[in-house]
Chain A
Amino acid sequence: MKKKVIILGSGPNRIGQGVEFDYACVHCVWALREEGYEAIMVNCNPETVSTDYDTSDKLFFEPIVYEDVVNIIESEKPVGVVVQFGGQTPLKLAVPLQNAGINILGTSPESIDIAEDRERFRDLIIQLDLKQPESGIAKSKEEAVLIAEKIGYPVLVRPSYVLGGRAMRLVYDTAELLEYIEEAVYVTEDKPLLIDKFLEDAVELDVDAVSDGEDVLVGAVMEHIEEAGIHSGDSATCIPPYTLEDQLIEKVKEHTKKLARALNVYGLMNVQFAVKDDEIYVIEVNPRASRTVPFVSKAIGYPLAKIASKIIVGKKLKEIVPEVFEIKEKHPASDFVSKEFKRYSIKEVVFPWTRFPNVDPLLGPEMKSTGEVMGIDKDFGLAFYKAQSAAGQDLPEEGNVFISVADKDKPKIIQMAKDLQNLGFKIYATKGTYNFLKENGVDAVLTSKLSEERPNIVDKIRNGEIQLIINTPSGKRERSDAYYIRRAAVMHKVPYFTTVRGAYAAVEAIKSYKEKGLDVMAIQDMNL
């Protein structure tokens, strides 16, 4: 008789927990079958491959809640249950199942708890001599103000207890903080407010790694295209990092390995870092499959979820991927490929803006995207161009660009504006940005704001006179001109960027596309 293992799926798709987790579960099923186990899948989502009866040895189409899961376990008597591939849905059950005497395979629920508990996690970071952004927990309004002022603005605030809707917010001063507390949350003894220092203009990194308790291999270090402050699930992401020094990337890998060993990870782990002024900060650790696992697996040509699944039933990395240990000079961003690896993989996301006409189509700390695409090329610009095109934004080769950015971003756009002009674009701007560009020697066409004479900028977008929009928010959320500009861009399908780094990547993409054009290649033909 084969030993049985139960894999818990990810339940209904929702924003933040989508098809990526089903992908990981299916890989786990395949790996366990390869290892000679009877793989039993439990899931209730009819859209998925995991609920195809062809995928597993046994399929239970059941709710993923304690009662129904324990029923199956009692009836099937597996040697263990896998909870690390289906996102939060099975993870929530880890402790209750363990308390019921059920064996959880892979990373222990104890380690998961250390990673999720703020206090315990902070102790670990200190113990490992790593850095975290300063933070605090406020149990009253007054305390919140004190902490925020001590840490220094801007700060990211969120209730420890989230009841739908309004959650995380980036706050720039005390007035804004008080406003947030008044309108959005109650801060009390048992429902405190979490406050984190926001590292403005930091570069964010995501790392997926796999560990067998002895060896840790980093799948990839990814650099977010958008700067800190945008939810990692909504950020475009590049493998390998494209603006950072190799030395720093190596350090990030080291930190990741330290964390994996300290948390005694068996299987997958995802770490988010922020880099500011060459300092590396740990933002978050999740000792489980992340949403970037399929993307990384495809970028490096190794199925991470499958490898992790073999680990949790006792195999070692040296047995599963011996060839990886033979690589002489590893790539700074991945342990699975050599230094010679020359390919950019960029993940971009898509949003449901057109379905929700009243919603501001703006990136922020709350995840809002529903899905993702990938662009692959040897050239960074072309990979970004493909990713944009796949996400439904074909970048223009010529025409008019409208630029309107927050004051803090203005100095950063001079070079970009010049680059765009050299590429043959004409720049349109409203007064503030227009004056700034003029002072810095960039020609632009003055165009009127919504409140000024018509045709204003929104009229121009609607009339198809603008081919690209670069518009960064000023920080406060309001129904300003910017909101109407962004809505018009969405409804008329004009490519638009709301971050400076995103805009730079777009300019790079246009440049590469105009110079080289596009080519296609099957993943089976890519020379890893």
Chain B
Amino acid sequence: MAKRTDINKILLIGSGPIIIGQAAEFDYSGTQGAKALKEEGYEVILVNSNPATIMTDPEIADKTYIEPLTTKILEKIIQKERPDALLPTLGGQTSLNLAIGLYEKGILDKYNVKMIGANYEAIKKAEDRELFKQAMEKIGLKMPKSAVVKTMAEAVEIMDWIGFPVIIRPSFTLGGTGGSIAYNADEFISKVKSGLEASPISEVLLEESVIGWKEFEMEVMRDKNDNCVIICSIENFDPMGVHTGDSITIAPAMTLTDKEYQMLRDYSIAVIREIGVETGGSNVQFSQNPETGEFYVIEMNPRVSRSSALASKATGFPIAKIAAKLAVGYTLDELPNDITKETPASFEPTIDYIVTKIPRFDFAKFPEADQTLTTMMKSVGEVMAIGRTFKESFQKALRSLELGKYGFYAKLENASDEEIKEKIIRPTPERVWYIAEAFRRGYTIDEVHQMSHIDKWFLNQIKEIIDLEKEIASKTLGTIDADLLEKAKQWGFSDRELARLLKTSEEKIREKRIDVSYKVVDTCAAEFKAFTPYYYSSYESLVGKVEEDGSIKLYRDSEN
């Protein structure tokens, strides 16, 4: 075992109050990290201003400071505690920014605190646009074409090189004010002009638009011996243009060919190596041109992120815990997988189910706010659901949202066709229900794809659900046969939805339908025995077992 012995005391910084874009996932990762480090015998000093967290419970760290997260306060804590190391990658962007601040102000050097996990250079390289672009060029990966211009003449010169549509972002304006998209040369001139005016230093960033492209994320981990593993691939149901945090996402990626998946795997590993995250997890985002299949790198987070919390829950692989152990010198092959106890953490998780994440919004509290989903995150929470099929997983996630909707039905019968179209073209939190309604009205997959740019595979799945819904609605509780009811449950229809379609009560459906089965999340698709009792429900088909007397017993397997 190669645990570092040159450090004893480790400082962890939490992510502060829950804000949009930085929520409870960092309590999960920080708590895991602190527990993992303590388990290894290190003294853990924790700072977080948020009392509503498990990580700030007195038993989690050795010393817990519920103090403001500012460099001034952190310096006082460092001065008092004299930690040997700072692990900045488990507390979101807040923690990373504070680590950068402490480094740049010379405070880490002054008190001889080493950064572990990701060092200053790696963080800078991942966060600085220009440095990141250069790094990607170096390893031959493409990014959306972009350039910074200070005059109209410069802008016009590169207009054709970037092509249309082009995104115009004025530099140093607050909250993205003055940003716009130009679809043609005329618009380009006027929008660049107002962008330059909006920017206090008269500068705009021109960027090739990838709106409508497909979007993927890869969770990758690396150890100090340069071993890399991919924990999970995630595909966004909503195409580029909607922030990942506001997108419905699916794990694993559904619409990649194996060849494409292997490419993304290689790219992700190349990115984490080039950026130089020495140990720990990173999240790399890609977009894919649906016409040509070409991939662009969008960004990488050199830290544990919202997506890694999701990936951990989706696979059973505890990214934050492993990241903490890698940071103190372990390698992936030295760390056992808690779930199987037999396999090491260097085994990439395999999953035999589908995971759907849907964000939860709270616009009711802000009636004046624009509900259009854009590149600025607006959701306040999320749900995840696990199913054996995409359909089951997705429908379970819909009812998990607690919006009074138990599937794809949202009382939209009276919506006009214009409204349906408008709500499919312009992404809002209700888009999936409008898509379902469009299929009820006979819209084709091509039509909905044209409006939404959502991949046709996803749309086809929803259409199949609606087609089955129609079939069920033509029956009654008395006339529906067992096979159809079983199929409906396997496709994730809730009892409530079935009761609505069959004009009966939830209780009556419950009496008639098959029993649920529980399956284990085991990181290995049942290749090894699982020791952790982490379950999800599904509806199994009947299997037969030959009894001693030669008779066959039929049953539905459940693992709980």
Chain A positions near chain B (C-beta within 8 angstroms): 11-15, 18-20, 22-23, 26, 44-49, 51-54, 57-68, 70-72, 75-76, 89, 164-166, 291, 294-295, 298, 301, 303, 347, 349-350, 352, 354-360, 366-368, 370-376, 386, 389-391, 394, 491-492, 518-525
Q: Which of A47, A63, A518 contacts B400 (CB 8 A)?
A: A63
Q: Which of A48, A62, A356, A376 contacts B28 (CB 8 A)?
A: A48
Number of interface residues, chain B, beta carbon within 8 A = 90
Q: What's the Cα separation between A206 and B58 when bound, in Å?
A: 24
- Inter-subunit contact B400/A44 (CB<8 Å): yes
- Inter-subunit contact B50/A368 (CB<8 Å): no
- Inter-subunit contact A47/B28 (CB<8 Å): yes
B25 contacts the other chain (CB 8 A):
yes
Q: Give the distance to chain A from B354, nearest Cβ to Cβ, in Å.
A: 13
Per-residue contact bits, chain B 377-412, to A (CB 8 Å; 1 contact, 0 not)? 110111111100000000011011110001000000
- Inter-subunit contact B50/A373 (CB<8 Å): yes
Q: What's the Cα separation between A182 and B535 when bound, in Å?
A: 50
Per-residue contact bits, chain B 494-513, to A (CB 8 Å; 1 contact, 0 not)? 11100000000010001000
Q: Which of A59, A356, A374 contacts B66 (CB 8 A)?
A: A374
Minimal Cβ-Cβ distance residue in A for B18: A371
A71-B24 in contact given A14-B381, A46-B314 (Cβ < 8 Å): no
A372 contacts across to B, CB distance below 8 A: 17-18, 50-52
A47-B309 in contact given A61-B386, A386-B67, A520-B65 (Cβ < 8 Å): yes
- Inter-subunit contact A14/B309 (CB<8 Å): no
Minimal Cβ-Cβ distance residue in A for B70: A389
Per-residue contact bits, chain B 34-63, to A (CB 8 Å; 1 contact, 0 not)? 000000000001000111111011100011
- Inter-subunit contact B309/A46 (CB<8 Å): yes
- Inter-subunit contact B19/A47 (CB<8 Å): no
A303 contacts across to B, CB distance below 8 A: 57
> Interface-forming stretch among B288-296, B360-368, B455-463?
B360-368
Minimal Cβ-Cβ distance residue in A for B534: A53
- Inter-subunit contact B496/A374 (CB<8 Å): no
B32 contacts across to A, CB distance below 8 A: 52, 54
A356 contacts across to B, CB distance below 8 A: 366, 368-370, 378
A389 contacts across to B, CB distance below 8 A: 68, 70, 73
Chain B positions near chain A (C-beta within 8 angstroms): 16-20, 23-25, 27-28, 31-32, 45, 49-54, 56-58, 62-70, 72-73, 76-77, 80, 174-175, 306, 309-310, 313-314, 316, 318, 338-339, 357, 360, 362, 364-370, 376-378, 380-386, 396-397, 399-402, 406, 494-496, 506, 510, 516, 518, 521, 532-537, 558, 560
A366 contacts across to B, CB distance below 8 A: 365
Q: Which of A58, A89, A360, A374 contacts B560 (CB 8 A)?
A: A58
Q: What's the Cα separation between A54 and B321 when bound, in Å?
A: 11
A18 contacts across to B, CB distance below 8 A: 18, 24, 52, 381
- Inter-subunit contact A373/B369 (CB<8 Å): no
Q: What's the Cα separation between A432 and B367 when bound, in Å?
A: 31
A390 contacts across to B, CB distance below 8 A: 16-17, 49, 67-69
- Inter-subunit contact B368/A360 (CB<8 Å): yes
Q: Give the distance to chain B from A524, nearest Cβ to Cβ, in Å.
A: 6
Q: What's the Cα separation between A75 and B559 when bound, in Å?
A: 11
B400 contacts across to A, CB distance below 8 A: 11-12, 44, 62-65
- Inter-subunit contact A19/B175 (CB<8 Å): no
Minimal Cβ-Cβ distance residue in B for A353: B366
A65 contacts across to B, CB distance below 8 A: 399-400, 402, 406, 494, 496
- Inter-subunit contact B66/A368 (CB<8 Å): no
Q: Give the distance to chain A from B48, nearest Cβ to Cβ, in Å.
A: 9
A68-B537 in contact given A372-B17, A373-B17 (Cβ < 8 Å): yes
- Inter-subunit contact B494/A59 (CB<8 Å): no
Q: What's the Cα separation between A68 and B533 when bound, in Å?
A: 18
- Inter-subunit contact A19/B18 (CB<8 Å): yes
Q: Which of A13, A22, A298, A301 contacts B51 (CB 8 A)?
A: A298
Minimal Cβ-Cβ distance residue in B for A357: B175
A13-B19 in contact given A19-B52, A49-B28 (Cβ < 8 Å): no
A46-B382 in contact given A15-B365, A523-B66 (Cβ < 8 Å): yes
3 closest Cβ contacts across the A-B interface? A371-B18, A13-B381, A371-B17
Q: Give the distance to chain B from A371, nearest Cβ to Cβ, in Å.
A: 3
